[in-house]
Amino acid sequence: MKNFHYNVPTEIFFGKGAIKNLNNIAKYGKRILLVYGRDSIKKMGLYDEVVKILDQADTTYIELTNVEPNPRIESVREGVVLCREHDIDVVLAVGGGSVIDCAKVVAAGAVYDGDAWDLVLHPDKIVDALPVVTVLTLAATGSEMNGNAVISDLKTREKLGTGSDMLKPKFSIMDPEHTFTVSKGMTAAGIADIMSHTFENYFTPVKGAYVQARICESLLKACIYYGPLAIEEPDNYEARANLMWAGSLAINGICSLGQQTAWTVHPMEHELSAYYDITHGVGLAILTPPWMRYVLSDETVDKFVEYGVNVWGLDADGDPFDVANVAIDKTEAFLKSLGLPMKLSEVGIDRQYFEEMAKNCEERTQEGYVPLTYRDSIAIFEAAL
Ligand code: NZQ
Ligand code: ZN
C-alpha cells in the first residue's frame, strides 16, 4: 500500500426526512443559487420542500434550471453570471451528478477572473470556490461526496473532468426516498456507473491494499444484490439506501487510497458521451466487458480470479483463465439483465470516430492498470460494436 492523504470534509445527512437538515445552509450565507435539471424534482415534490426550507431559514434564492444530463459549459457560464449579478453566497444543487457537477464549476467560476472553461481544462486554476451544498436524487456518480466535476463542450466534442478540494460539498442530503422516482433505465445506468468506479479502483497493480480491495468487493456485491431489487421495486427503501451509499463510497477516495489508480474505461466513455451525448452509465456498461477481456493476460489473471472468487463466489480451482473468463461473462450477463444496452450499435454508434476518440483519450488511458495506446482503445471500441 502506498502513502496517502485522506480528506473528505463533506458532512452527510443520510436517511428518511434528512431534508430537514437543509436549513444548515444558512451557516454558509443567505443568498443562494438553486441549481436543478428539468422537471423531476418538481414532479416528486422535492422542489416545494426545498423552497419551503429555504424560506424558513430566512434565505433568498434565485434559480439556474434546465441543467442537462452531461452538463454543458453554457449552463455553467449562465450560472456564473447569475452568481455575480446576484452576489450569491452559496450554490445549492438538487439533482443527480450532472446538476451537482454543474453547480461545482459554477461555484468555482463565480470567483474566477476568466472563463469557466479554463477551470475544466486546468484544475490547478481552481484555488477558491463558493460553498457547495447538495441534495442528491440519483445514486451513481458520487459527486455528492467528492471534489470532481465533468463538463461538456459539445461544440468542440470535449467532455472533461476537473476537480479540486475546493469543490467538495460542505454537506449533502441523501434520502434514498428521493431516488424512488428514478426510471428503470437510469437506475441501471447508475448501477453500471457505481460498479465501474469500483472496478477502476479495484483493478490496480499495487499489492497489499487488502482493506481497499475488500471494500470494493462489498460495494460490487451490494450492486449485484440490490440493483435488480431496486429495478423491480423502485420504492424498496433498503435497496435504494444501499445503492445510494455504495455510490458515494465507490468514488469518495476510500477505495483508491494507497493504490495507483489511473482510470481507463472512464476516459474512453467520456469520448462516447462527448461525440454522441449518450448516458454515461450506458457507455460504461458497454465498454466494461470488452475492456476486461482485452486486459486479461498472464499479468492480470490473478486479479480477475480474485474478483471471480470474492465477488461471484466462483471456485478458485481449475485453470485461472477459465475462472477469469467466467467472472467477466457473469459481469456482462449481470449488466445485460438490468436492461442496459450492451453494444455500441444499440445506441447508434458506429466506427466513424473510433480513431479520433481513441487518440483524444490516449494521454489518460496510458496511465491505467493496463496502459492502453490509442490502438488498444480502438480494439476495445471495435469489440464493443
Ligand atoms: O433533468 P432532471 O429532471 O434532473 O432529470 C434527471 C436526468 O434526466 C433524471 N433524474 C435525476 N434524479 C431523478 C431523475 N428522474 C426521476 N427521479 C429522480 N429522483 O435522471 C437523468 C440523468 O441525470 P444525471 O444527473 O445526468 O445522471 P447522473 O447522476 O448519472 O450524472 C451523470 C453525469 O455525471 C458525470 C457523468 O459523466 C455525467 O455527466 N460523472 C460525474 C462524476 C463525478 N462528479 O465524480 C464521476 C462520474 O464518473 C461521471 O463521469
Ligand atoms: Zn462514472
Which pLDDT does position 259 carry in this prediction? 84
Residues in the chain: 385
Segments of the chain scoring below 50 in pLDDT = none
- Ligand 1 contact, 164 CB (< 6 A): no
CB-based neighbours (< 5 A) of ligand 2, an ion: 193
Which pLDDT does position 260 carry in this prediction? 74
Which pLDDT does position 258 carry in this prediction? 87
The CA 138 to ligand 1 mean position distance, Å, reads: 7
The CA 329 to ligand 2 mean position distance, Å, reads: 21
- Ligand 1 contact, 149 CB (< 6 A): yes
- Cα(196)–Cα(189) distance, rounded to whole angstroms? 10
Helices (H), the chain: 40-43, 46-56, 73-85, 97-109, 117-121, 184-202, 210-232, 237-249, 265-276, 280-295, 301-312, 320-337, 354-365, 374-384
Residue for grid cell 488498444: 376
Please give the CATH number for the structural domain made up of 11-178.
3.40.50.1970
**Nearest bound ligand to CA 180?**
1
Superfamily the domain 182-384 falls into: Dehydroquinate synthase-like - alpha domain (1.20.1090.10)
Which pLDDT does position 144 carry in this prediction? 98
Domain ranges of the chain: 11-178, 182-384
Which pLDDT does position 368 carry in this prediction? 85
Looking from the CA of residue 149, the nearest atom of ligand 1 is: 44
In tens, the pLDDT along 51-108 reads: 999 999 999 999 999 999 999 999 999 999 999 999 999 999 999 999 999 999 999 9
**Nearest bound ligand to CA 93?**
1
Looking from the CA of residue 146, the nearest atom of ligand 1 is: 45
- Cα(383)–Cα(74) distance, rounded to whole angstroms? 34
The CA 68 to ligand 1 mean position distance, Å, reads: 9
CB atoms within 10 A of CB 333: 11
DSSP string, 67-86: PPSS-BHHHHHHHHHHHHHT
